[in-house]
Structure 1
Amino acid sequence: MKTKILLAEDDPDFGMILKQYLELEDFEVTWFQNPEDVVGLLGTDFPFHIGILDIMMPSIDGFSLAKMILKEKNNFPLLFLTAKNQKIDRLMGLKIGADDYVAKPCDPEELVLRIKNILKRTQPNAPAKIKIGDYYFDTEKLLLSHPEGNVRLTIRERELLLYLLKYNGTMIKRDDILDSLWETNDYFTGRSLDVFISRLRKYFMNDPQIKIQSLRGIGFEVDFPLN
């Protein structure tokens, strides 16, 4: 499942460039040139994971828009963009509840890194116990329990299992796993990932409903029956 970004930016050139770059990074971006269109969505499902707001916009500035969003969607992650680099702007944005602040023109790679860091900080913690088919997974004790026996996972195995559970039922790219969990992508980390996948398959071998299928050259498709 792709991260859905709300982008409010009235500059057509910068907005288009930013949207295209973020989509190349595998984000799903909905771009609003008119901030009033964002306000119209606040009473709806509002299917976004993070918002990127330009401060200097007509009719509704970024600060005012942020206040409206946070009033309806408490703790919604926000990042401000502005052409100005004044201290008062930064302080005001942080006071409102922004998670980060980037001055334009910004380095797109830095922006992507900041977005990912915000999402890591703000994503909800995994539940203490998860039922996976015939298994129980205690995420705090790292214990995978089954009537046939228990196994205690390593920290890395826990992180990988939680990542796969997060995208249960979807196609997961190898590169996305490596970038998210190993923060690097080379031959050796790729082989390490294969070893960890093999371990998880072995741990879940007592329940044939659970599937971790390799897609050659792409990644994996997982099916965890969750109860």
Structure 2
Amino acid sequence: MPTILVADDDANIRELVCLFLRNDGFATVEATNGREALALYASTHVDLVVLDIMMPIMDGWTLCKELRRANSDLPLLMLTARGETWEKVKGFELGTDDYLTKPFDPLELAVRVRALLKRYRIGSVQTIQLGEVALDRQTYKVTIGAESLSLPLKEFELLYKLAETPGQVYTREQLIDQIWGMDYAGDNRTIDVHIKRLRERFAATPGFRIETVRGLGYRLEASE
């Protein structure tokens, strides 16, 4: 599932935006200012950024400029209370793709996010191939060669998330937030249990392995 970075210093706005995006099938990560957003972008796979203009430490103008400098193909959506025409023009000149003024309709926000992802063709690939193992995000089916394997939903989502970006390290907290949701009240050690089950299921299957990165979390390594 695509991951959306929401950068806004207003905790209520972040909570509302993330709630509607997660309900619409997206994973979310949050930042309270531009500098924190840049750090998250550098350490986390992000498909789109929703950013406020008026933030402390680093404002949205600077964040937009830095993100666009780092990645010309990253969709950016400005969400702000400042709606004057010159500000919109400045945002577009700095590289934002869309602009939504507060107060906003969360449903409209979700529609704009989907439209941007579609424009950038993000999330359109629904099948991941790992050697003989194929993961189909539309049907939640796993096939190994000609054989089908049925996985519990969370095991499938965890494996698919790791397989989307082979080699990237995810912390337990990131995986909990992106798969179980930020409101999950259980122990994040549930990740360890699911990883153990996945390793056992695919122990004799070539194509990939799930590695533990001591002190950090997990990553999936695809075989050559």
Match of 2:137 among 172, 183, 186: 172
Residue of structure 2 in register with 1:71 after alignment = 69
Residue of structure 2 in register with 1:36 after alignment = 35
Residue of structure 2 in register with 1:17 after alignment = 16
Match of 1:81 among 79, 82, 87: 79
The 2-side partners of 1:213 and 1:107 are apart by 41
Once the two structures are superposed, the pairs formed by residues 43-192 of structure 1 within 5 Å of their partners are: 44-123=42-121, 163-164=126-127, 169-170=134-135, 172-173=137-138
The 2-side partners of 1:40 and 1:209 are apart by 40
TM-score, scaled to structure 1: 0.57
Relative distance call for 1:71 and 1:20 in structure 2 (3 A) is: same
CA deviation vs aligned residue, 1:50-83 (integer Å, no higher than 9, x gap): 0000011122111111111111222211000111
Following TM superposition, by how much is the alpha carbon of 1:103 offset from its aligned partner in structure 2, in angstroms?
Answer: 0.6
Relative distance call for 1:113 and 1:210 in structure 2 (3 A) is: farther
Relative distance call for 1:67 and 1:173 in structure 2 (3 A) is: same
The 2-side partners of 1:45 and 1:10 are apart by 20
Question: Any unmatched runs of 5+ in structure 1?
Answer: 125-158, 178-207
Residue of structure 2 in register with 1:209 after alignment = 145
The 1-side partners of 2:2 and 2:114 are apart by 10
Following TM superposition, by how much is the alpha carbon of 1:99 offset from its aligned partner in structure 2, in angstroms?
Answer: 1.1
Indicate the percent of aligned positions where both proteins have the same amino acid. 30
The 1-side partners of 2:40 and 2:145 are apart by 40
Measured on the aligned residues, the alpha-carbon RMSD in Å equals: 3.8
Relative distance call for 1:172 and 1:9 in structure 2 (3 A) is: same
The 2-side partners of 1:37 and 1:107 are apart by 26
SS at match of 2:37: helix
RCO comparison, higher one (Cα < 8 Å, 6+): 2
The 1-side partners of 2:52 and 2:147 are apart by 44
The amino acid across from 2:96 in the alignment is: A
TM-score, scaled to structure 2: 0.57
Following TM superposition, by how much is the alpha carbon of 1:46 offset from its aligned partner in structure 2, in angstroms?
Answer: 4.0
Following TM superposition, by how much is the alpha carbon of 1:169 offset from its aligned partner in structure 2, in angstroms?
Answer: 4.1
The 1-side partners of 2:110 and 2:80 are apart by 16
The 1-side partners of 2:114 and 2:4 are apart by 11
The 2-side partners of 1:72 and 1:97 are apart by 12
Alignment length, in residue pairs?
A: 158
Following TM superposition, by how much is the alpha carbon of 1:213 offset from its aligned partner in structure 2, in angstroms?
Answer: 7.3
- Bigger Rg, which one: 1
